Amino acid sequence: MATYATGLQVEPLTIPFPAPAHLKHAIARLHSVTKRYENTTALDNVTLNLYPGEVVALLGPNGAGKTTAVRLLLGLIAPTSGSVRVMGRDPRDASARTGIGAMLQITRVPETLKVREHIDWFRSYYPTPLPAGEIVRIAKLEGLENKLYGKLSGGQRQRVLFGLALAGNPDLIFLDEPTVGMDIESRRGLWEQIRWLASQSKTVLLTTHYLEEADALASRVVVIDKGRVIAEGTPAQIKQRVSGRRIRCITELDEEFLMALPSVVKVERDREAVIVTAHEAELVVREMLLSDVTLRGLEISAPGLEDAFLALTGKNQPTN
Amino acid sequence: MATAVLNARRQTLGFSYYVRVLRQEIRYEFLKMLRLRAFSLSVVGFPVMFYLLFGVANRHTDFARYLLASYSCFGMIGASLFGLGAGIAMERMQGWLELKLASPMPRLAYLAAKTVSCSAFALIIVALLITLGVTLGGVAMTPAEVLKLAGITLAGALPFASMGLLLSLVMPATAAPGIINLIYLPMSFLSGLWMPLNMLPHWMQKIAPALPTYHYAQLALNIFGYAQPGGSMSGHWEALVGFTCLMLGAAWLIFTRTEAKA
């Protein structure tokens, strides 16, 4: 076990993700994929399987390799080594793309066409597209059909891009940081749409650096950092990776005393309060209350995905 | 369930699919360019304005006839270089091209639609120039000459679309219009598109045969009998074909190299 400066302990790195029997055939997979650019390694021996009907969040800080993974799966780039398969085929093969939809970053579509025209245009690329009316309804574009793309607000533009991702009635949808730069209302709106996709048993790969987003949407989270997969599991499993709870209170007890209590791994000061991290919080709190009758402002919290993420990505230096 | 999905998707894309894609691609590409005033007004506006200034002003002269042919070429070259060169560079920068490449869109449909749309602009330019020439410039044209001029103008679509494609691969999008103008305008001038070659200094006349625009213009000028004496039309055609191959070959090389690095 490694202990990080947060005082939270991280369990050994591999949590085997048990694939349910009926989901054994991956709809898309990266197998031992390494992607190297001239002097940087964007992905380092990454294996990632997407199973039908799941929403997977690829979570990681900027530059972790999330977009590279999506671009590989879309066949926009080729791996340096390893194999990429989408629906059993090489995604660089156009016929493999007929069942895929994508929403990419920094996409600006031509501003001089109307929403309706963009939808009609993109639908023509697919042999069995969704009806235009369906796309408008799902992407919540009612009333905007005859507006030029250039006249839309940021949130509306994202909805158009979301609509284009659905144009071909895809089974597999890639959403690369879909909510970046969105206001809270638009973000919640898109979350609802992603949940709708999940309810239609579409497979969704979502990249994000918002932990909240991964937690809210994903059935499985793959944490990636510096081109490597460092953890994989349900949001709950990822959170469990970080053991210990945080006890925050205002007390006269000194730090040495607190540190000596059973199972305490860390004591830190936060203004007038003290934060104690311990594995057996109940025991520690009982001792503290008995020793200090003036103790007040007691709060006990479990580590969130945020703490797990920080611990996993090693943003705090390890203190071995 | 997964296999059922896979099988359903294993359909081959038939002929009617490609026809539909190409039709839609041309339709919206043209509409998009037409509504983009920065493109449509300048690409159509400049040859027309120049013709009004230099052609119509010299009505009933050889000048009015000469410039009718040369500005038609000028229009096609401009539409292709800006339409494909600046157009693709911009769409690549905005990420729009990437989104299209991630779809099953046939790559060739994208390029073909842009080339056809630029040709449509060239036809609009030729129609406007002929109308101005006949009504205001005192130019008399037989129907055969009208058809020939339109045909020769369209023959420039492939060579200059290829050049635009090559430029789009090597230019940063933000600098594209400036770079294109720096190539397009001097090249047009040196090829005798703005004034007859024999009015230019002698050393400039020597450069002209090295330029694709010169060979293109000679073909158009030949309709009115203004081609440089001693030039062979088949030689001009060969030069254009060779230039097209060169541009496409270079574009292919650069594209595959950047793709290997990407």
Domain ranges of chain B: 17-261
Task: Name chain B contacts of A120, Cβ cutoff 8 Å.
Answer: 24, 28
Residue A110 and residue B106: Cβ atoms within 8 Å? no
Is there a contact between A125 and B21 if contact means CB atoms under 8 Å apart?
yes
What percent of chain B has pLDDT above 70? 95
Domain boundaries, chain A: 9-99+171-240, 245-301
Interchain contact, B5 vs A102, CB within 8 Å: no
pLDDT score at B11? 56
The residue-averaged pLDDT of A195-221 equals 90
Look at the alpha carbons of B31, B32, B35, B41 in this order and tell me if their dihedral is positive or negative.
negative
Q: Do B21 and A52 touch (CB under 8 A)?
A: no
Q: Which residues of A touch B91 (CB under 8 A)?
A: 110
Percent of chain B predicted with pLDDT > 90 = 85
pLDDT at A7 over 80: no
Among the residue ranges A50-64, A136-150, B241-255, the one predicted with the least confidence is A50-64
Q: Does A164 touch chain B if contact means CB atoms closer than 8 Å?
A: yes
Q: Do B262 and A121 touch (CB under 8 A)?
A: no
Architecture, CATH, for domain A9-99+171-240: 3-Layer(aba) Sandwich (3.40)
Does the structure show a pLDDT above 80 at B13? no
B28 at interface of A, judged by CB pairs closer than 8 A = yes
Mean pLDDT of all residues in B47-70: 93
What interface predicted TM-score (ipTM) does this complex get? 0.88
Task: Give the pLDDT of residue A310.
Answer: 74
pLDDT at A115 over 80: yes
Instruction: Supply the pLDDT for residue A162.
Output: 94
Please give the backbone phi and psi of residue A3, each rounded to the nearest 5 degrees, phi first: -110, 130
- The pLDDT score that the predictor gives to residue A182 is 81
Q: Which residues of B touch A122 (CB under 8 A)?
A: 103
The answer to whether A65 contacts chain B (CB < 8 Å) is no
pLDDT of residue A96: 85
Subunit contact B25:A109, Cβ cutoff 8 A: no
**Which of B35, B104, B261 comes nearest A125 by C-beta?**
B104
Residues of A in contact with B88 (CB under 8 A): none
A74 touches chain B (CB under 8 A): yes
Question: Distance of alpha carbon A64 from its chain centroid, rounded?
Answer: 12
Q: What are the chain A neighbours of B258 within 8 Å (beta carbons)?
A: none
Residue B10 has pLDDT above 70, yes or no: no
Pick the residue of A93, A125, A157, A160 with the most B CBs within 10 A to test the interface with B by mutation.
A125
Residues in chain A: 320
Structure tokens at A36: 């190297």
Cβ of A124 within 8 Å of Cβ of B6? The answer is: no
Asked if the Cβ–Cβ distance from B104 to A25 is below 8 Å, we say no
Which chain A residue shows the shortest CA-CA distance from B18? Answer: A125
Distance in angstroms (rounded) separating the CA atoms of residues A77 and A271: 50
Distance of residue B222 Cα from the nearest chain A Cα, in angstroms: 39
Asked if A39 is an interface residue toward chain B (Cβ–Cβ < 8 A), one would say no
Chain B residue closest to A116 (CA)? B28
Task: With a cut of 50, say whether residue B5 has pLDDT above it.
Answer: no
End-to-end Cα spacing for chain A: 10
Interface test with chain A among B31, B99, B101, B257, by most A beta carbons within 10 Å: B99
How far does A71 lie from chain B, in Å, by closest CA? 9
**B36 → closest Cβ in A88, A99, A112:** A112
Each residue of A154-184: pLDDT tens digit? 889 999 999 999 999 999 999 999 988 788 8
CB-based contact B94 A108, cutoff 8 Å? yes
Are A179 and A114 spatial neighbours (Cβ–Cβ below 8 Å)? no
Per residue in B228-252, pLDDT tens? 888 899 999 999 999 999 999 999 9
Region A114-138: what's the mean pLDDT?
95
Do the beta carbons of residue B32 and residue A148 sit within 8 Å?
no
- Chain-centroid distance of CA B37 in Å reads 18
- Is the predicted pLDDT of residue A315 greater than 90, yes or no? no
- pLDDT over 90 at B35, yes or no: yes
Quote the pTM value: 0.83
What is the model's pLDDT at position A314? 67
Banded pLDDT at A62 (limits 50, 70, 90): confident
Shortest CA gap B104–chain A (Å):
5
DSSP per-residue letters across chain A: -EEBTTS-EE--S-------GGG-S-SEEEEEEEEE-SS-EEEEEEEEEE-TT-EEEEE--TTSSHHHHHHHHTTSS--SEEEEEETTB-TTSGGGGGGEEEE-TT----TTSBHHHHHHHHHTTSSSPPPHHHHHHHTT-TT-TTSBGGGS-HHHHHHHHHHHHHTT--SEEEEESTTTT--HHHHHHHHHHHHHHHHTT-EEEEEES-HHHHHHH-SEEEEEETTEEEEEE-HHHHHHTEE-EEEEEE-S--HHHHHHSTTEEEEEEETTEEEEEES-HHHHHHHHHHH-TT-EEEEEE---HHHHHHHHHT-SPB--
CB contact under 8 A, A76 and B98: yes
